[in-house]
Amino acid sequence: MMCPFECDECLFWKLKKRSSREGDPADHRLLGFIRRANLDAFWALEPRTVAGNLSEAYNYGVDIGREFGLAMFPAVGPWSPDYDHGMTAALAVLVKSLRPGRHEATMKFSSVRKARSVFSNVWRASSRGTSESLFWRIDGKQRGVSSKAPVESEWFTRFMKGVGNRLGQRTRQDAAISIEVMTELMRRFEDDYGLCPEDSVNQRSIAEAACFCVLGFCGSFRGFEVPKVVLTYLREFRVRQAVGEVPPHIGVPLAGRFKLRGNMDQNLLVYVAAETASGLKPMVWVDRLVDLLEADGIVSGWCFQGADGEQLRMNHFEDRIFEKLVDIQAEMPHLIPADMALYEAFGLARSFRRGATTRAQNRGVSQLDINWINRWRTGEGGNDAYFSGDMRVHYSDTRQMVQTFLRFSLAL
């Protein structure tokens, strides 16, 4: 098999320090998982690769070894009694792979593979893991580490590859919110807002949901980024009159931790047009929300905040937004097909961002501008838009780049 492994009973003894008991359901289940883990490890290599290696090994080991009277290869076992190849971590991966997934019957490989990093981090934090590791530096800059962590073993590496081959790389992307659905969604928020002129609490809830949608779409934000908007600076960064060739716009300031940016708090400032080509009106909704917050005595902190000033989470807006999407699907199936599993297809995390990117491409926005607004650092046109320091100073420094930002949202 060209793969290091031990039989089910040997590994059972290493894990339990006893032999399996006949008729014991728990022991039988554990033996089944051990067998499954070994089979997954075998499937790390293609059968033709294994067959080719075995053929060559036989040639070297039998023919050449016999000719010279030499043992051409080292013994493939046994292993020391306390070495389990990482089987305990493998059991965790297999058990987790059978649990219900968020959108499917069982978890995807992209979810279950995280167990490896958990076991690796725990090992490195343990006294044994630290004392048995060997550290060195290359040119005084890069650090090298030699680890005996079980999840770094040859068998476990093969096992994880085999699990990936068996489960497959199943991906699910949030469906894009089309511009037609987006404009209809905002129209319905507009109607709701006009129906409760004396109810400031309901108006604020509507304005928050509408701002979440329109800023997420026009700023091409991920859904979990939108609640990071800072009210303190949003109030200041609104330009209602055109300045030369620069149309009215909003500087949308965000603060916190962002994807792929590590654990350090950073800032982000994105400029959004006051009104887009399709009639979306970010300025109108931002003004409404800012005024409602000010009426409640709130002029600082997060733009989307709870009763105690805490930052609201993305899922806070799900009910109100999906309620509108369900109505649109029921009344306008030409926009959202009646047979679409709406709650599974759309997601606040990326549906608005994907819809805005698609709309921009259809409107002829250059890939350079799309890369810029999405903060994609791969390929030509990516930019490092995140920064630390004073938000007002950065706002002043980036004023000359406003038109670069606005080309995206103006076309939507």
The predicted structure's pLDDT at residue 333: 92
Write the pLDDT tens digit of every residue in 249-286. 999 999 887 765 555 677 888 899 999 999 999 999 99
For residue 381, pLDDT over 50 is answered with no
Contact 397, 263 (CB under 8 A): no
For residue 395, pLDDT over 70 is answered with yes
Write the pLDDT tens digit of every residue in 305-351. 998 999 999 999 999 999 999 999 999 999 999 988 888 889 899 99
**Mean pLDDT, to the nearest integer, of 379-399?**
64
Structure tokens given for 71:
């043992």
For residue 169, pLDDT over 80 is answered with no
Give, in order, the Cα–Cα distances in Å from 309 to each of 109, 298, 323, 400: 38, 9, 26, 34
For residue 116, pLDDT over 90 is answered with no
For residue 140, pLDDT over 70 is answered with no
Structure tokens given for 184:
């209809």
To the nearest whole number, what is the mean pLDDT of the chain? 85
| H or E stretch at 212 | helix 200-218
The predicted structure's pLDDT at residue 382: 43
Write the pLDDT tens digit of every residue in 149-165. 888 888 888 888 888 88
What domains are defined for the chain? 8-44+82-167 (no CATH), 179-411 (1.10.443)
For residue 37, pLDDT over 50 is answered with yes
